[in-house]
Amino acid sequence: MKLSFEKDSLLNGINIVLKAVPSKTTMPILECILIDASGSEIKLTGNDMELGIETKVEGLILEHGKIALEAKLFSDIIRKLSGGDSPIIIESDEKYNTTISCDKSVFKIQGKDGEEFSYIPHIERDRYITLSQFTLKEVIRQTLFSISPNDSNKMMTGELFEVKDNELKVVSLDGHRMSIRKIILKEHYNDIKVIVPGKTLGEISKILNGDNESEVQIFFSSNHILFEFDDTIVVSRLIEGE
């Protein structure tokens, strides 16, 4: 595999997927960021099995391939590179030895087989709603403070998303406070009722640009929720319960 990037676009992609890389895990492969250039686009993925984030990064594919690189080490190296007008070249061989070079800097690190990485689960895209990035960011900001910080009651660490006809209702509560926000949607949708983890919503609000013109599509399945916006998808497990 051989890829060429501009520093800003690569670093932006890394910062987005890092939010789904666990700090402690029994599976070392999950501490990695997957670089997948096996198709026509370059995708970066982070996945801690509860939350998965995949984003597309602009770059040139000189040789196709995929590799998993240790996330903290990889992001530290890219941050320290001078960037400027010089492209960042990432090259790996069949034994996953990876060379990252830019201008006069060269780093050699050991990667892992990209095929071992846990892929983000596939979600059918038949149940969904659409709203603006600005609206979703505001809704999260106005409700996230009243979720429960501890896990004694798992349901209270999430927020209820309830869709009825053309209205989305978002509810959070911690046993002492309760926040409810209602939004009128542009279209009419089937009824949906799910509990989304607060951690997921917190990470999404950091990635959203908050633009009123840009839209977010939210897809629902029985166990997962998928947020799709710009060049990024975020998939999270739902919290079970009523």
Q: What is the pLDDT of residue 4?
A: 96
**Confidence check: pLDDT of 201 > 90:** yes
Which pair of tokens denotes residue 75? 């992001």
pTM of the model: 0.92
How far apart (Å, rounded) are the C-alpha atoms in residues 159 and 14?
Answer: 27
Closest to 105 in 3D by CA, of 130, 88, 84: 88
Distances (CA, A) of 97 to 1, 67, 90, 91: 11, 10, 11, 8
Q: Are strands 112-113 and 178-197 parallel, antiparallel or unpaired?
A: unpaired
Q: What is the pLDDT of residues 151-164, one digit of tens each?
A: 778 888 999 999 99
Strand-pair partners of 99? 91, 108
**Confidence check: pLDDT of 60 > 80:** yes
Q: What is the pLDDT of residues 123-155, one digit of tens each?
A: 989 999 999 999 999 999 999 999 988 777 888
Which pair of tokens denotes residue 133? 């990035």
Q: What percent of the chain has pLDDT over 70?
A: 100
How far apart (Å, rounded) are the C-alpha atoms in residues 56 and 71?
Answer: 17
